[in-house]
Structure 1
């Protein structure tokens, strides 16, 4: 603490004038510098909250990762050129703070809705989690940008050092699934669930929601078409009414009945197949086009229906969902 000293008359021997003025000037300069530092700015020599590293990614189907953002972990005694982080060095309220930026360029001739999946990788190339993003209504020649967060990671997750595009799906914007919380002009919304797989049996649920203001009627089976990478119909695949030729354990696979959905009500159906490979060429459909009934507006889904060499897929009839 600076103490005030009693006033004494100055003499040439006890207080040299020029050195005192110099000391006062230095003190004022130091105080002024401390008072003008910007609020929230990191102190000199301290690390920033995160580090963004550009990535030279060749990409896939018009999508590529452009950078990786990693939160700064505890200081390392041996700095390295490659940024990495492991979850047990961080305390971010459950979120790892890791994200990857991407860009998607539509080089086609029609407006598309893209779903891109990024995978975060460790130094040895292992997958350490991922995330998915959707970019709607990307016009021909347009480039859009966004980011995907890794979210919460287990404390034992190895150090993440990179990210890559693992999957890209592009559907015509007019046939894209409705955005969450929106209702198409038709007044009905068609969607799928994540599906279930066991012992080679695959089951994917279809959901039909009446989000409009009028009753909606269906009777029988959804109308299904399997498509290849170019979104062209796949030939030589039998679309079966019912799933009994594939399995007998599917709930709701009974005779079709008329279903009337009032506003707010829903119905479900199932796509059923087996992923068995024997003689012949395996078939995988990257896309499925679904209509709630004949003449209804189509909705295209990136489903990756891996039929193996079975050549058939069963569809169960619509059944009203119990409320």
Structure 2
């Protein structure tokens, strides 16, 4: 089975450097430069009171591409919503030399409503004969509310549990993404049955065309997301997992895509929004498996 995207596609090559690209270099002949350097970290300012530009994609735009030995691209992210969001952005690198396009990704944490955050990505690679990139495009933007961002490590959330999704597997149209639950608190965390899930569109609104089923075998067998639900008592440091299963079969009708899924580990616990990139074809259904004890 091949890996598929959770937030940003694992097939994209290259590495994001959220540190400085060095001092500003003289741009190469194929590059444009507005004179701004790629600087360390992020800076925030109020969003300009104007309509989105033609080059802006979901609030993200590339503002500068610098050449030389430390090629880098500066970008800005504008949150025109009413709550803070964390953004995952995928950039496509294009060279006039005809070299195959490459991609870079960036995560921009906690952009407040009405704010614009600037950052930079390194365009360099480990290859000495790497091309100079003449154009950088924004190809995909994913955003989740800061309060619902998945936590895979670091400080334990106030809920006492970490909940996140992996990159998943795909083979011959079958998709399986695993939800991971870790008790990082000090007490016992109990779950019983299935996580509650709600597929969401790019506008973060529920996709009503999706039918959510219990037990992965209702879509496909032998995925690990089947079996009867059992009550679990997770002690501090213990883990559980549950699978999301779907097919991307396309027959008659309009294919349904839902990049986000809001997940509740159990009733009464704050939800987490993950990005499994559901490509449900025309099947109109997704299955969720029961919580199982992890190793």
The TM-score bracket by the shorter chain reads 0.7 to 0.9
Q: Which residue of 1 aligns with 2:14?
A: none
By how many angstroms is 1:243 displaced?
Answer: 1.3
Whether the aligned pair in 1 keeps the contact of 2:225 and 2:244 (CA below 8 Å) is: no
* Alignment partners' CA distance in 2, 1:58 and 1:235: 31
1:206 aligns with 2:193: no
Q: Which structure 2 residues correspond to residues 1-323 of structure 1 after superposition, within 5 A?
A: 50-51=25-26, 53-54=32-33, 58-72=55-69, 97-123=70-96, 128-150=101-123, 152-153=125-126, 158-178=131-151, 180-322=153-295
* Alignment partners' CA distance in 1, 2:120 and 2:57: 16
Q: Deviations over 1:201-238 (max 9, x none)?
A: 11111110111111111111111001112211111311
Distance verdict in 2 for CA 1:69–1:159, change over 3 Å: closer
State the TM-score, normalizing by the size of structure 2. 0.77
How many residues of Structure 1 are paired with residues of Structure 2 in the alignment? 251
State the TM-score, normalizing by the size of structure 1. 0.71
Whether the aligned pair in 1 keeps the contact of 2:225 and 2:288 (CA below 8 Å) is: no
* Alignment partners' CA distance in 1, 2:152 and 2:174: 30
**Higher helix proportion (structure 1 or 2):** 1
Structure of larger gyration radius? 1
By how many angstroms is 1:137 displaced?
Answer: 2.4
Whether the aligned pair in 2 keeps the contact of 1:112 and 1:137 (CA below 8 Å) is: yes
Distance verdict in 2 for CA 1:246–1:134, change over 3 Å: same
RMSD across aligned C-alpha pairs, in angstroms?
2.4
3-state DSSP class of the match of 1:244? Answer: helix
Distance verdict in 2 for CA 1:144–1:157, change over 3 Å: same
* Alignment partners' CA distance in 1, 2:132 and 2:73: 15
* Alignment partners' CA distance in 2, 1:156 and 1:265: 47
Higher relative contact order, chain-length normalized (CA < 8 Å, sep 6+): 2
* Alignment partners' CA distance in 2, 1:274 and 1:258: 28
Whether the aligned pair in 1 keeps the contact of 2:152 and 2:163 (CA below 8 Å) is: no
* Alignment partners' CA distance in 2, 1:268 and 1:63: 34
Q: Deviations over 1:171-218 (max 9, x none)?
A: 222212237412210010110111111111111111101111111111
